[in-house]
Amino acid sequence: KNQVEQSPQSLIILEGKNCTLQCNYTVSPFSNLRWYKQDTGRGPVSLTIMTFSENTKSNGRYTATLDADTKQSSLHITASQLSDSASYICVVMGSGGYNKLIFGAGTRLAVHP
């Protein structure tokens, strides 16, 4: 069964600290993996998108890694800011186009001053 599992479910960190969010997937065949940030009451916003051949991709303070062999990905946030408080969703695209986007449940991150 195609699944995307994220951990932890929620996380609280202090402003300025780093954190790493995890994503494990069983989607096969695999096309690409995306990380989205979703603020409360808003639609998801894309952070990174990685294909099978990419191991790491950065977007400002966000760095995503991908190990296609172990089917694991991580999102590392550096020097967190209060505005980083949001849900971070790992999404895997299998074959067949966009109707095959498999969403993780997300990690709810709270950054405290």
Please list every residue from 20 through 79 that binds another protein, using CB under 8 A: 34, 36, 41-46, 49
User: Can you tell me the distance from the alpha carbon of 35 to that of 16, in angstroms, rounded to the nearest whole number?
Assistant: 21
- Residue whose C-alpha is closest to residue 37's, from 113, 95, 106: 106
Least distance CB 102 / another protein (angstroms): 10
Work out whether 101 is an interface residue with another protein (CB under 8 A).
yes
Spacing of C-alpha 71 from chain mean position:
13
Work out whether 7 is an interface residue with another protein (CB under 8 A).
no
Tokens of 33: 């993996």
Positions in the binding site for another protein (CB under 8 A): 34, 36, 41-46, 49, 89, 97-99, 101, 103-106, 108
